[in-house]
């Protein structure tokens, strides 16, 4: 266990207190798969109730002070009251997410064969207009970034001209980029497969980097941990995107197989630590502010656990990985690397990964006015049954 008098303890606690992870509005209800969805009690049925849930998480762990909205799942009816509610709950609005992966009721043209890549110019225009609409919602809420994840691609060889799909998509993203306010960023999220199963038009970090380099200085590549082919070295991808100054930030989750979107750190906690190890090293190399210079967000779906308990576990896993990465003796690691002392380098990382830092994560939470053990308090206060009394059984919008 980390000693309270460890020379870095205080600086680590300060950094943890400044660190916030945004909560996705679509992960506050029970998620499902194509095989089924088992709704839970007391789920939020409106944007206001979703914000209450994020406010609750933030009150318990003081590290969830932002919510990320998905349009059109969360279109605010009254911006003023939503902004006031956010202020009351101590929440900021993180990146807003567009949605051209579903056809909405009354939508003129279908996205069945894609959106920005589509062979039909009018479908591409509809998708561009939607993204510009999403920016307008974000401006009203004080958000400063648009996340674009495109489900575009193909399911069979021969179905798509890859070059034309890329060029159409780039042209669409350029129109969206031109509509960004000066102080906004655009995050281009890649994914290796699903819902298309032969090609995705933004399939990996290289393709996303190609787009964002062509778009301009306010375009960045967003890394969703579940969007990689098996055994991809995500920490190396992170290191290189940081080196290029093109890392947008993260959609944190974990997975064993595909885009499982399960609890952060529940399957591969060592990979999560190695990613934060590259983040701390790379951000310090660029003099970046850990808390504000990247987008920190969870993107998960809860099929069998209470969504709020699951999110509390995910935030805790992120804080633990970050705290451990902050404790790595960078000088010793550099010396080991420059002398090819592989065993020494491994031991430096593995010793820290095997160091229990939960006490300083809890200390940071207490000092920030949070709970020593958020899940214990959530259960002792029987929050879920209170929510159920207030809300009954509602179906939350989202995935
Ligand atoms: C796609 C994705 C994307 C969101 C969606 C809810 O898999 O990760 O970030 O828009 O999930
Ligand atoms: Mn995502």
Q: Is the CB of 399 under 6 A from ligand 1?
A: yes
Distance from C-alpha of 172 to C-alpha of 104, rounded to nearest angstrom: 20
Residue 137, H or E segment: helix 121-141
Q: Is the CB of 252 under 6 A from ligand 1?
A: no
Three-class HEC string of 3-43: CCCCCCHHHHHHHHHHCCCEEEHHHCCECCECCECCCCCCC
Q: Report how far ligand 2's centroid is from the alpha carbon of 399 (Å).
A: 12
Joined tokens for residue 167? 């060029």
Tens digits of residue pLDDT in 317-328? 999 999 999 999
Joined tokens for residue 360? 């300083």
What confidence category does residue 210 fall into, taking pLDDT thresholds of 50, 70 and 90? very high
Task: Evaluate if residue 125 carries a pLDDT over 70.
Answer: yes
pLDDT at 396: 56
Distance from C-alpha of 337 to C-alpha of 332, rounded to nearest angstrom: 9
pLDDT at 398: 58
Q: Which of 229, 303, 304, 310 is nearest to 263 (CA)?
A: 310
Task: Evaluate if residue 49 carries a pLDDT over 60.
Answer: yes
CA-angle at 178, arms to 247 and 69, nearest 5°? 60
What order do you get walking across the sheet with 92-93 strand by strand?
23-24, 66-68, 92-93
User: What is the average pLDDT across 41-63?
Assistant: 97
Q: In angstroms, how far is the first alpha carbon of the chain from the final one?
A: 39
Distance from C-alpha of 113 to C-alpha of 107, rounded to nearest angstrom: 15
Q: Report how far ligand 2's centroid is from the alpha carbon of 97 (Å).
A: 9
Handedness of CA 351, 332, 269, 21 (dihedral sign): positive
| Separation of CA 313 from chain center | 15
Q: Report how far ligand 1's centroid is from the alpha carbon of 342 (Å).
A: 38
Q: Is the CB of 97 under 6 A from ligand 1?
A: yes
Tens digits of residue pLDDT in 73-112? 999 999 999 999 999 999 999 999 999 999 999 999 999 9
Q: Is the CB of 228 under 6 A from ligand 1?
A: no
Q: Report how far ligand 1's centroid is from the alpha carbon of 334 (Å).
A: 37
Q: Which atom of ligand 1 lies closest to the CA of 26?
A: 6
pLDDT at 399: 58
The percent of residues above 90 in pLDDT, for the chain, comes to 94
Tens digits of residue pLDDT in 268-305? 999 999 999 999 999 999 999 999 999 999 999 999 99
Q: What Å distances lie between residue 112 and 49, 205, 282, 330, 381, CA to CA?
A: 32, 24, 40, 49, 46
Distance from C-alpha of 367 to C-alpha of 375, rounded to nearest angstrom: 18
Q: Which atom of ligand 1 lies closest to the CA of 399?
A: 6
User: What is the average pLDDT across 153-159?
Assistant: 98
Tens digits of residue pLDDT in 214-234? 999 999 999 999 999 999 999
* Residue 195, preceding peptide bond in cis (omega within 30° of 0): yes
Q: Which atom of ligand 1 lies closest to the CA of 301?
A: 6
Residue 167, H or E segment: helix 162-178
Q: Which atom of ligand 1 lies closest to the CA of 151?
A: 1
Handedness of CA 97, 81, 47, 104 (dihedral sign): negative
Q: Which residues of 285-316 are buried (b: 16+ CB within 10 A; e: fewer)?
A: eeebebeeebbbbbbbbbbeebbbbbbbbbbb
The percent of residues above 70 in pLDDT, for the chain, comes to 98
pTM higher than 0.85 for the full model? yes
Tens digits of residue pLDDT in 339-374? 999 999 999 999 999 999 999 999 999 999 999 999
User: 374 and 61 in contact (C-beta within 8 Å)?
Assistant: yes
Residues 6+ apart with CB under 8 A from 306: 40, 384
**Closest residue by CA, ligand 1 atom 3:** 149
Joined tokens for residue 75? 């279109």
What confidence category does residue 7 fall into, taking pLDDT thresholds of 50, 70 and 90? confident
User: 268 and 319 in contact (C-beta within 8 Å)?
Assistant: no
Distance from C-alpha of 117 to C-alpha of 120, rounded to nearest angstrom: 9
């Amino acid at each position: 266990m980390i000693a309270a008098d460890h020379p870095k303890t205080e600086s680590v606690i300060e950094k943890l207190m400044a660190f916030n992870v945004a909560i996705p509005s679509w992960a506050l209800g029970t998620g499902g798969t194509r095989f089924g969805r088992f709704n839970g009690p007391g789920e939020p049925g409106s944007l206001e109730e979703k914000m209450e849930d994020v406010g609750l998480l933030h009150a318990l762990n003081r590290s969830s002070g932002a919510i990320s909205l998905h349009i059109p799942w969360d279109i605010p009816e009254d911006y003023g009251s939503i902004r006031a509610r956010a202020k009351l709950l101590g929440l900021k609005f993180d990146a807003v997410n567009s949605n051209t992966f579903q056809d909405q009721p009354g939508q003129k043209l279908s996205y069945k064969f894609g959106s920005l890549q589509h062979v039909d110019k009018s479908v591409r225009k509809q998708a561009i207009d939607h993204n510009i609409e999403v920016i307008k919602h974000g401006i009203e809420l004080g958000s400063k970034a648009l996340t674009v994840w495109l489900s575009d691609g193909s399911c069979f060889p021969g179905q798509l001209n890859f070059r034309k799909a890329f060029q159409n998509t780039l042209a669409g993203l350029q129109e969206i980029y031109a509509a960004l306010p000066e102080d906004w960023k655009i995050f281009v999220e890649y994914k290796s497969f699903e819902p298309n199963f032969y090609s995705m038009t933004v399939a990996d970090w290289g393709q996303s980097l190609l787009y964002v380099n062509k778009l301009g200085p306010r375009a960045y590549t967003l890394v969703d941990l579940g969007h990689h082919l098996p055994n991809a070295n995500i920490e190396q991808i992170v290191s290189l995107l940081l080196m290029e100054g093109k890392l947008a930030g993260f959609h944190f989750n974990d997975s064993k197989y595909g885009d499982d979107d399960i609890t952060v750190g529940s399957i591969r906690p060592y990979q999560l630590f190695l990613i934060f190890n590259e983040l701390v090293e790379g951000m310090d190399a660029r003099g970046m502010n850990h808390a504000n210079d990247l987008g920190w967000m969870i993107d998960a779906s809860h099929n069998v656990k209470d969504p709020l308990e699951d999110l509390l576990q995910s935030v805790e896993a992120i804080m633990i990985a970050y705290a451990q990465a902050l404790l790595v003796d960078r000088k010793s690691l550099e010396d080991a690397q420059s002398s090819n002392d592989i065993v020494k380098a491994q031991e430096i990382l593995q010793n820290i990964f095997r160091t229990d830092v939960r006490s300083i994560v809890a200390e940071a939470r207490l000092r920030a006015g949070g709970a020593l053990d958020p899940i214990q308090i959530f259960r002792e206060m029987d929050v879920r049954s209170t929510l159920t009394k207030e809300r009954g059984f509602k179906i939350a919008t989202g995935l």
